[in-house]
Amino acid sequence: MSKCIWLTGLSGSGKTTIANLLAAQYKDKGQLTCVLDGDQIRLGLNKDLGFTRSDRHENARRVAEVAKILVDLEILVIVALISPFSEDRHKARALFQPGQFIEVYVDTSLKRCATRDVKGLYTLQENGLIKNMTGITSPYEIPKNPDIHLRTDTTDAIECCELIKKHISV
């Protein structure tokens, strides 16, 4: 199964947790998987990018190109990337064959995301130490028609993975 599952949502929504759990479940079944996590990507491939609008566009573009290469190698790619702009998600989808790209909106309230603030970003933003915080001082364009809409305020990561797997098997 060669697909790109693109998880988008605010920081703290649960994207990485779901991505890692989903990858482990597929790996246990013998499927080659790769998680492209936004934080990890910014430590290497995209360490030269900041958080301006143009840098965010380039970040999403590079991740989409890497995901496409991996999908072409028959790897299940799970992207966990805020990817705040609809345009970037549409451009990413356009790289893939029909049915290969699954956009998953990981929907959680800003308040709930702040309570899950494992990286301390919301606290730093409150103290004026972060500019361009997605959902607060920088826009997040909610997907209008995602392939899957997960509400992690009320659904745990295991159930979210089951919903994704059910959608993919259809």
Domains of the chain: 4-169 (3.40.50.300)
- Return d(Cα 70, Cα 137) in angstroms, integer: 33
Contact 36, 76 (CB under 8 A): no
Contact 7, 80 (CB under 8 A): yes
pLDDT at 43 over 80: yes
- Mean of per-residue pLDDT scores for the chain: 90
pTM of the model: 0.91
Q: Enumerate the active-site residues.
A: 83
Q: What are 119-148's pLDDT values in tens digits?
A: 666 665 666 667 776 766 778 999 999 999
Task: Count Cβ atoms below 10 Å from residue 32 Cβ, excluding itself.
Answer: 15
Predicted confidence at residue 127, as pLDDT, reads 64
pLDDT score recorded for residue 11: 86
